[in-house]
Structure 1
Amino acid sequence: MELGRSLVALGGSFLAAGLLARAGRRIGLPTIPVFMAAGILLGPHTPGLVLFEDPGELKVLAALGLIFLLFSLGLEFHLDQLIGGGRRLLFAGGSYLLLNVGGGLLFGHLLGWGEREAVALAGIVGISSSAIVTKLLFELRRMNRGETPLILGIIVVEDVFLAFYLALLQPIIKGSSGMTDLALQVGRGFAFLLALAALARWGARTVARLVDDPDDDLLVVCFVGLAVLVAGGAELVGVSDAIGAFMAGLILAASPVAGRVRPLVVPLRDAFGALFFFAFGLRIAPADVWSVAGPVLAAIVLTLVLNAAAGLVAARIHRMDMTAAVTITLSVLARGEFALIVASLAAAAGLDARIAPFTAGYVLILAVIGPLAASHSDAIARLLPGGSRPVPGAAADPAGARPAAPAGEDRPGDLRPRASEPDPLPVPSRPDHADARAHGLAHETGRDRPLDVHPKCDQSQVEQELPRTASGDRAAR
């Protein structure tokens, strides 16, 4: 009987999350905050139907959701994406992180919730949502816009930062007996990170031979085992399971088997990822969200101000106009899966209980208003003082964009399609494994996907639009 009740509750969780997300999609809401809202509505802190009295019952399954989310992100990440963007792209992305993460850290200190809590809040406030930003660019059909390469570059820089941030976060939030102990824990985390990075650079083919199999079913079993094993090992050595899963994906991303793994991990990521967000919502009491309404609103205002400053800096560096600056600001405004991941790690470490409801309210609001504001960025720019004029140092082009490269001409570091290439959509419904690196997850696009948790630079879709460099590599890689 107990097993039956657990299965009914689990099935109800999946179904409720899916049905609510479908309803939300009809009015343009991203799926991530809806999954979280489903957990709040059906959790023990809300009157009515309660599926799980104890959110801990979903602890392992929710951990699998986190693992598959970060594993999928690692599969899509390539350092060449960052290098190909050039020094200006690095500076723009670095400026965004400095303003937002630095501002988040200062905000955390001003709240007075604690030093460790401030470090967690820096990541919650400072890192944008991979899922929402990537999905937004394609739904608004903005891949040909001049500012889009810069938006993609910012989120790729965030990817790099995320790996180091998670490695640093875990020993800090778990506490240490002194600076020496903290230094040892941080050093151990970075050593683990560097060891796996070296394995990704020089041992990826060996790992690929370990998991590869002609049959997809056995390939799935093997790469799932690898992801969970590395994530568990990371947790054992004091690094978060999230960074372990990310590095496992990074290792396979550099291997010949990556093209086959990417589409196979999608259903696992979507299903268990939805459960991760649902389980996070189970912990949230609506009354607790109301109790931190002041800090939530202050954080939203701070994020708007810092994003605006970062957008202006990025536009000036790349000689773009005010419309481009506003579009950059609003496109990367939404917060989502990474804020929830950090909040989940903070809750597991026993940090201030207010972090979870704060993150819930912060993410719910920004995940909704971010895409809505971004879809009207041009109109918003016209309403601003000087919105019809270029920012200082901007190019004369009123769109703030460089023209697309002529047919046959390649421009390294330019993430936009050539003039001869078609509008971004549609994309192929099934990727050819022989050209898997060029198609990746292209078959995922569309309205039938239950969970859009793509990495910050969604390889499959973006690569459809990107020119090749003279060497034949994609400019975004």
Structure 2
Amino acid sequence: MHETPLITTLVAGFVLAFLFGTIANRFKLPPLVGYLIAGILVGPYTPGYVADQSLALELAEIGVILLMFGVGLHFSLKDLLSVRFIAVPGAIVQIALATALGWGFGQMMGWSHGGSLVFGLALSVASTVVLLKALQERRIVDTEKGKIAVGWLIVEDLAMVMALVLIPAVAGVTAGEQAHADPIVLQLSHVLGFDLGLSGMIAMTLLKVAGFIGFMLIFGRKLIPWILHHIAHTGSRELFRLGVLAIALGVAFGAAKLFGVSLALGAFFAGMILSESPLSHRAAQESLPLRDAFAVLFFVSVGMLFDPVSILRDPLPVVTAVAIIVLGKSIGAFLIVIFFRKSAGTALTISASLAQIGEFSFILAELGVGLGLMPKEGRDLILAGAIISIILNPLVFWLCDRARPWLEARLTRDEATTATSESGAAAEADEPPVQVPTTLTGHTIVVGHGRVGSIVTKAVRNAGTPLLVIEDSEKRVETLKQEGAEVIVGNAVSTDILALTNLGGATTIVIAIPDAFEAGQVTEQARSANPSICIIARAHSDDEIEHLKKFGADVVIMGEREIARGMVEFLKQQTSVAHAGVET
């Protein structure tokens, strides 16, 4: 059989990533920890099979483009502006603090100023994947503290995007070489007859970035949505999916070739422009599988660069790097949030959310090594710090939850001696209320209040049956409360959430969520808690029907089948009317 390095690399990457991602998920860790470990196992620093690194890095580049496209798609200027007075200055100060700590550590290690700066920047930015997952698990994304954390993250991402643009330009000058300098700038220097220097290099780089942004705002803002709308009108889902991918990769490549900016910046702006389109949600959904697949390859390729022996060979630098990430960043963020007179609970949540590093850190590490600014040792420390900090993140949240009552009592008491008691109460106003178990009996539980669930809840209320809804969308929860419905806020998959619904006293549970895997978990728990409860669920295929019935569902309704029945009934009515007309 002929050599197939691309296929071998893809198979090894995906299979091992799946195995170790599943193991990580089993231990309540983000799957990306498993992806990184998979990369380490197929890398050159561990025995056994070694994947093709050059191919892995090219695949990773596509992963970076799609990751940044996803970041742009989910960029929300509205969310950022709602918390701008704390998120913008807070993130900037926290980035400066963490970068200074990383820079100081790099200087102690004997690295260059540029390498130390890149190292500090890599330690200053949290992982988007890990932060959002942590907030979603705790159901606080839509709370004030969640919005502050997301806004803070957006500012960090924007700062790193600018860093990716400026670092190559600065590297070309500070290194005293022309290897990394921009060809356009070199040509201009030759024409003018003198070296533009660092300031000129940065100015020209920013000018090109401004030109690209201007082009995207003037032409891209109209062209990209127009292309997507045109494709959507063809009715071809395949073409729509392909169009989204072509826009992401095409804009990124065009930005790099025509404007000399990074692929990452081009992809980010493509996503950000597309996010303004009414079709952005569909674009995000259609591109998600491919983005996830290449994101996996990105993390695997990053793991391949890591030498695990470096931790054992010299553990003190690793411990120091982890301390900067977990302690330095967290303490800095906590003090910044407290300075803005937010509650201890909010400050602890922000601190715990930021106590890890991820995607941008890996991109910066590879850029720093590729430009010759930072030694490979620095990249190993960043990778080790990322893996360890992500693993420790659930523990950090647990410790913050434990410390919150003591800190809240202490801070409230201190405030009372210097200010009115109202200020302390106001500081706590953003804390979500504790949910109490329902007192309903003989009630119907509806899981999910989307398009299907909302129709079911209306019918249950019209019938006069006691109703309890489980919903995790803040907007839908507010609507339900305004209508006077009793709501449990959260994901029904959680045992703690279901424990609040008095399953033992309920007569029926309608599982209206579209995800068959989650529905299966809810069905299993409901049947275990109340063997006599009537369980009604929804499905999209015969396999899903079988899956849900296996877990104990009494009735499973497949949407497509009900649509077909409705059409058949309509045809029967039309036929009977036509026959009646002929007879008369």
Could you say if the C-alpha distance between residues 239 and 224 of structure 1 is closer, same or farther in structure 2, counting changes exceeding 3 Å? same
Which residue type is aligned with residue 66 of structure 1?
A: V
Which residue of 2 is the match for residue 18 of structure 1? 18
Which residue of 1 is the match for residue 53 of structure 2? 55
Contact 1:30/1:132, CA 8 A, preserved across alignment: yes
Which residue of 2 is the match for residue 187 of structure 1? 203
Which residue type is aligned with residue 63 of structure 1?
A: E
2 CA distance for matches of 1:311 and 1:72? 29
Larger Rg: 2
Could you say if the C-alpha distance between residues 33 and 332 of structure 1 is closer, same or farther in structure 2, counting changes exceeding 3 Å? same
Which 10-residue stretch deviates more, 365-374 or 193-202? 193-202
> What is the CA distance between 1:59 and its match in structure 2?
2.4
2 CA distance for matches of 1:377 and 1:446? 31
Could you say if the C-alpha distance between residues 59 and 67 of structure 1 is closer, same or farther in structure 2, counting changes exceeding 3 Å? same
Which residue of 1 is the match for residue 112 of structure 2? 114
> What is the CA distance between 1:398 and its match in structure 2?
9.3
Within-5 A mapping of 1:10-409: 10-47=10-47, 49-52=48-51, 54-143=52-141, 146-173=144-171, 177=176, 180-203=196-219, 204-212=221-229, 213-214=231-232, 215-236=236-257, 237-303=259-325, 304-320=327-343, 322-350=344-372, 351-382=374-405, 389=412, 392=415, 395-397=423-425, 400-402=428-430
**Per-residue displacement from partner, 1:395-437 (whole Å, max 9, x unpaired)?**
42398233779xxxxxxxxx9767638525469xxxxxxxxxx
2 CA distance for matches of 1:185 and 1:14? 41
2 CA distance for matches of 1:208 and 1:30? 34
Could you say if the C-alpha distance between residues 122 and 239 of structure 1 is closer, same or farther in structure 2, counting changes exceeding 3 Å? farther
Contact 2:322/2:385, CA 8 A, preserved across alignment: yes
Could you say if the C-alpha distance between residues 137 and 447 of structure 1 is closer, same or farther in structure 2, counting changes exceeding 3 Å? farther
2 CA distance for matches of 1:249 and 1:258? 9
Which 10-residue stretch deviates more, 176-185 or 74-83? 176-185
**Per-residue displacement from partner, 1:345-374 (whole Å, max 9, x unpaired)?**
223324412122111111011111123211
Contact 1:382/1:388, CA 8 A, preserved across alignment: no
Which 10-residue stretch deviates more, 365-374 or 95-104? 95-104
2 CA distance for matches of 1:183 and 1:196? 20
**Per-residue displacement from partner, 1:36-64 (whole Å, max 9, x unpaired)?**
111112222112x3141x41122221111
> What is the CA distance between 1:281 and its match in structure 2?
1.2
2 CA distance for matches of 1:262 and 1:111? 43
1 CA distance for matches of 2:514 and 2:114? 41
2 CA distance for matches of 1:165 and 1:180? 20
2 CA distance for matches of 1:181 and 1:144? 47
Which 10-residue stretch deviates more, 222-231 or 22-31? 222-231
Contact 1:147/1:401, CA 8 A, preserved across alignment: no
Could you say if the C-alpha distance between residues 298 and 364 of structure 1 is closer, same or farther in structure 2, counting changes exceeding 3 Å? same
Contact 1:331/1:371, CA 8 A, preserved across alignment: no
Could you say if the C-alpha distance between residues 100 and 231 of structure 1 is closer, same or farther in structure 2, counting changes exceeding 3 Å? same
How many residues are paired up? 422
Contact 1:44/1:282, CA 8 A, preserved across alignment: yes
1 CA distance for matches of 2:157 and 2:10? 32
Secondary structure in 1 aligned to 2:357?
coil
Could you say if the C-alpha distance between residues 272 and 335 of structure 1 is closer, same or farther in structure 2, counting changes exceeding 3 Å? same
Within-5 A mapping of 1:411-430: 420=481, 423-425=489-491
1 CA distance for matches of 2:5 and 2:328? 48
1 CA distance for matches of 2:169 and 2:517? 40
> What is the CA distance between 1:128 and its match in structure 2?
0.8
**Per-residue displacement from partner, 1:198-226 (whole Å, max 9, x unpaired)?**
34444312222235402232223233223
2 CA distance for matches of 1:182 and 1:174? 9
Which residue type is aligned with residue 196 of structure 2?
A: T
Which residue type is aligned with residue 50 of structure 1?
A: Y
2 CA distance for matches of 1:391 and 1:25? 41
Which 10-residue stretch deviates more, 165-174 or 417-426? 417-426
Could you say if the C-alpha distance between residues 346 and 86 of structure 1 is closer, same or farther in structure 2, counting changes exceeding 3 Å? closer
Could you say if the C-alpha distance between residues 374 and 174 of structure 1 is closer, same or farther in structure 2, counting changes exceeding 3 Å? farther
1 CA distance for matches of 2:404 and 2:516? 29
**Per-residue displacement from partner, 1:187-206 (whole Å, max 9, x unpaired)?**
34323332343344443122
1 CA distance for matches of 2:124 and 2:368? 15
Could you say if the C-alpha distance between residues 177 and 342 of structure 1 is closer, same or farther in structure 2, counting changes exceeding 3 Å? same
Contact 1:381/1:388, CA 8 A, preserved across alignment: no
Choose between structure 1 and 2: higher strand proportion: 2
Secondary structure in 1 aligned to 2:196?
helix
Choose between structure 1 and 2: higher helix proportion: 2
Secondary structure in 2 aligned to 1:259?
helix
> What is the CA distance between 1:387 and its match in structure 2?
5.3
1 CA distance for matches of 2:114 and 2:62? 25
Contact 1:316/1:391, CA 8 A, preserved across alignment: no
Which residue of 1 is the match for residue 523 of structure 2? none
Contact 1:129/1:334, CA 8 A, preserved across alignment: yes
Which residue type is aligned with residue 156 of structure 1?
A: I
2 CA distance for matches of 1:136 and 1:239? 33
Contact 2:161/2:264, CA 8 A, preserved across alignment: no
Could you say if the C-alpha distance between residues 348 and 361 of structure 1 is closer, same or farther in structure 2, counting changes exceeding 3 Å? same
Could you say if the C-alpha distance between residues 241 and 45 of structure 1 is closer, same or farther in structure 2, counting changes exceeding 3 Å? same
> What is the CA distance between 1:111 and its match in structure 2?
3.0
Could you say if the C-alpha distance between residues 140 and 391 of structure 1 is closer, same or farther in structure 2, counting changes exceeding 3 Å? farther
2 CA distance for matches of 1:28 and 1:158? 26
1 CA distance for matches of 2:293 and 2:364? 20
2 CA distance for matches of 1:300 and 1:352? 18
1 CA distance for matches of 2:340 and 2:381? 34
Which residue type is aligned with residue 275 of structure 2?
A: A
TM-score by length of 1: 0.78
Contact 1:88/1:318, CA 8 A, preserved across alignment: no
Specify which structure has the bigger relative contact order, considering alpha-carbon pairs within 8 angstroms and separated by 6 or more residues: 1
Secondary structure in 2 aligned to 1:112?
coil
**Per-residue displacement from partner, 1:368-387 (whole Å, max 9, x unpaired)?**
11232114422133566975
* Structure 1 stretches lacking a partner, 5+ long: 406-414, 428-441, 449-477
Contact 2:143/2:432, CA 8 A, preserved across alignment: no
Could you say if the C-alpha distance between residues 87 and 384 of structure 1 is closer, same or farther in structure 2, counting changes exceeding 3 Å? closer
Which residue type is aligned with residue 118 of structure 2?
A: A
Could you say if the C-alpha distance between residues 111 and 92 of structure 1 is closer, same or farther in structure 2, counting changes exceeding 3 Å? same
Which residue type is aligned with residue 190 of structure 1?
A: L
**Per-residue displacement from partner, 1:217-244 (whole Å, max 9, x unpaired)?**
2223233223223323444454332222
